[in-house]
Amino acid sequence: MKINLYSDTQSIPTEAMREAIARAPVGDEQKGTDPTVTNLLERVTSLLGKEAAIFLPTGTMCNAVAVATHCGRGDGLIAEANAHIMRYEAGGMASISGVLPKVIHGQDGQFSAADVLAHHDEGSRYTPRTTLLAVEQTCNLAGGTVWSVAALDEVAQQAKELGMKTHMDGARLFNAAVSTGVAAAEHCREYDSVWVDFTKGMGAPMGSVLCGSSEFIERAWHWKHRLGGALRQGGMMAAGCLYALDHYQDQLAQDHANARLFNEGLKNITHIKVRHAETQSNIVYFSLTGVKCTPSRFVELLAERGLKVGFVGDGLRAVTYNGITSDQINIALKLVREVASSLEAIN
Ligand SMILES: *Cc1c(COP(=O)(O)O)cnc(C)c1O
């Protein structure tokens, strides 16, 4: 049996989602006349408590469009060192928007108002103006950690006092909402822009929605078009996102329970060390200790037995999503135990 815990991006549309996609009423997305996209935008706008929204093919494009819309060339952007926007977006902020990254080395992907203050530059004849704060909810490379709403408010309020704009990469914001029991709109209430991804644990094949003020979204359209993200019958894809919105609560709760089960099991395996005693959402990070084996080799050995995990950032990563059952998690634990016990120990 093959078990794929590499990423929640490996989720594939269910039969029911495929049916919803096949039956979607469609129009011309870039003219604003695709009824299914319009429906999705209205749903997300209200769920996130913002004025307006725009449909984009990927989360990476949401970040690129948001940065381009908020910032001028040569402006500084504050984000955490392991944020996706820093590490995995091909330098988009620099190459597309000419923006200077101002990097905070935080804890678990998070930081404080004092960190924001310390990394801010007002701008002068000599210094670049820091104009945007970007946070990630949940923090992917930190292990799916969840910011508290109080901490999110605090850093955003500090940024606003400094005259900056605030942006939330909410690729897994719905995971955070399910994990905390606090509505998504509360998490992003202090943020000028926020987006959600439907292709991670939400299980849709394509689509993200970026939200903000009507004025911001109007300017974002210019960048969507410029980057080639304006669509035609986008409703086919929006239908998958709408289907996900109607069904995500129980699914994500199950994903979180499966991640917890995996993390608990790993704690009892010799030579395995989990990064967090308690998982907070659907991501588990772990490492090897006391053995002569590199993480990459360990990933290969597991793959040979039918278990796919990632070596992502600086650790071994397993992510749960809608294709994964608790039975598979138990088998995965058995495979990790078998491989770990076969490794040569360092004395
Ligand atoms: C996946 C991800 C993105 C990028 O989204 P894509 O839809 O893959 O382009 C951005 N930020 C975070 C935190 C992510 O996990």
In the sheet that 165-170 helps form, which strands lie side by side, from edge to edge?
Answer: 52-56, 208-212, 193-197, 165-170, 130-136, 76-80, 100-104
Give ∠ CA 13-42-160 in degrees, rounded to 5.
105
Ligand 1 binding pocket includes 97 (Cβ within 6 Å)? no
Ligand 1 centroid, distance to 9 Cα (angstroms): 9
- Give me 334's structure tokens: 């058995």
Strand-pairing partners, residue 234, are none
pLDDT given at position 1: 67
Ligand 1 binding pocket includes 169 (Cβ within 6 Å)? yes
- Give me 214's structure tokens: 């009507």
Ligand 1 binding pocket includes 29 (Cβ within 6 Å)? no
**Total-model pTM:** 0.97
Q: Is 90 left (phi over 0), alpha (psi -120 to 50) or beta?
A: left
pLDDT given at position 124: 95
Which ranges of the chain have pLDDT less than 70?
Answer: 1
Please choose from 200, 202, 285, 312 the residue to mutate so as to test ligand 1's pocket, defined by most ligand atoms within 8 A of CB: 200
- Asked if residues 314 and 343 have their Cβ atoms less than 8 Å apart, the reply is no
Determine the Cα–Cα distance for residues 101 and 91; give it in Å rounded to an integer.
10
The continuous run of DSSP H or E covering 282 comes out as none
Ligand 1 binding pocket includes 171 (Cβ within 6 Å)? yes
pLDDT given at position 313: 85
Ligand 1 binding pocket includes 89 (Cβ within 6 Å)? no
Residue 13 phi/psi, 5-degree rounding, is: -60, 135
Cα separations (Å) of 304 from 112, 296, 331?
Answer: 43, 13, 14
Ligand 1 centroid, distance to 340 Cα (angstroms): 31
* Cis ω for the linkage preceding 138 (within 30 of 0): yes
Give the distance from CA 274 to its chain's centroid: 21
Please choose from 6, 60, 135 the residue to mutate so as to test ligand 1's pocket, defined by most ligand atoms within 8 A of CB: 60
pLDDT tens per residue, range 178-187: 999 999 999 9
CA atoms 223, 197, 10, 269: torsion sign = positive
pLDDT tens per residue, range 153-168: 999 999 999 999 999 9
pLDDT given at position 104: 98
pLDDT given at position 191: 99
Cα separations (Å) of 206 from 112, 237, 328?
Answer: 34, 6, 26
**Closest to 194 (Cα-Cα) out of 215, 217, 162, 175:** 217
Determine the Cα–Cα distance for residues 127 and 173; give it in Å rounded to an integer.
34
**Closest to 314 (Cα-Cα) out of 302, 329, 296:** 296
Q: Give 298-326 as a DSSP string.
A: HHHHHHHTTEE-EEETTEEEEE--TT--H
First and final CA of the chain: distance in angstroms?
34
Determine the Cα–Cα distance for residues 87 and 314; give it in Å rounded to an integer.
12
